[in-house]
């Protein structure tokens, strides 16, 4: 597959469940985003569950795993980061996304570290849900956010 500049970057910070990561990978292929995985991971990259959830799309996925948060920041230096958390006050559709933006999601059980959220409070976004629901599935959250971003950017902006 030819290299392209992805329209978005999707970051999973220490994901724990391979099925979710596989489903996020499929969404990234669908919208033209690059997937970043920040270690430690709760599974092996070679996990059959990971590839099974991504089905036969994994071969088209542009992705990279990094050892820690500082390695990610170095790799994506100069990009604008958005941090998704249920504790944010700004709704995810109330910001203007730009090509190359980075959408950051925490692990399934812990979310993003409080220190990271506190350091970037102005860039924290929330997907609204009713009080009867504790949280959305990670892969659903990524899909909702990624599709809002490309809706704003115009579908024609997605490569391929």
- Condensed to tens digits (0 to 9), the pLDDT of residues 98-125 reads 999 999 999 999 999 999 999 999 999 9
Domain map (residue ranges) of the chain: 8-157
Q: State the average pLDDT over residues 120-142.
A: 95
Assign 155 a pLDDT band (cuts: 50, 70, 90). confident
Tell me if 135 is assigned to a ligand binding site. yes
Nearest CA among 129, 112, 109 for reference residue 120: 112
Specify whether the backbone of 111 is left (phi greater than 0), alpha (psi in -120 to 50) or beta: left
SS3 143: helix
In this model, does residue 85 exceed pLDDT 70?
Answer: yes
Rounded Cα distance between 87 and 20, Å, is 22
Residue 52's pLDDT is 62
Within 10 angstroms of residue 110's Cβ, the number of other Cβ atoms is: 11
CATH superfamily of 8-157: SPOUT methyltransferase, trefoil knot domain (3.40.1280.10)
Query: Per-residue pLDDT tens for 5-42?
Result: 899 999 999 999 888 998 999 999 999 999 999 999 88
The pTM is what? Answer: 0.91
pLDDT of residue 48: 64
């Amino acid at each position: 597959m030819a290299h392209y500049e992805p329209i978005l970057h999707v970051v999973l910070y220490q994901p724990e469940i391979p099925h979710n990561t596989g489903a996020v990978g499929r969404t990234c292929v669908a919208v033209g985003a690059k997937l970043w995985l920040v270690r430690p991971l709760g599974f092996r990259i070679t996990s059959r569950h990971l590839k099974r959830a991504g089905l036969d799309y994994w071969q088209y996925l542009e992705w990279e795993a990094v050892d820690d948060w500082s390695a990610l920041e170095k790799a994506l230096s100069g990009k604008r980061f958005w941090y998704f958390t249920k504790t944010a006050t700004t709704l995810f559709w109330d910001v203007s996304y730009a090509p190359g933006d980075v959408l950051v999601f925490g692990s399934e059980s812990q979310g993003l570290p409080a220190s990271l959220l506190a350091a970037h409070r102005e860039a924290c976004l929330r997907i609204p849900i009713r009080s009867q629901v504790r949280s959305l599935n990670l892969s659903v959250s990524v899909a909702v956010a990624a599709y809002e971003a490309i809706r704003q950017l115009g579908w024609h902006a997605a490569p391929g």
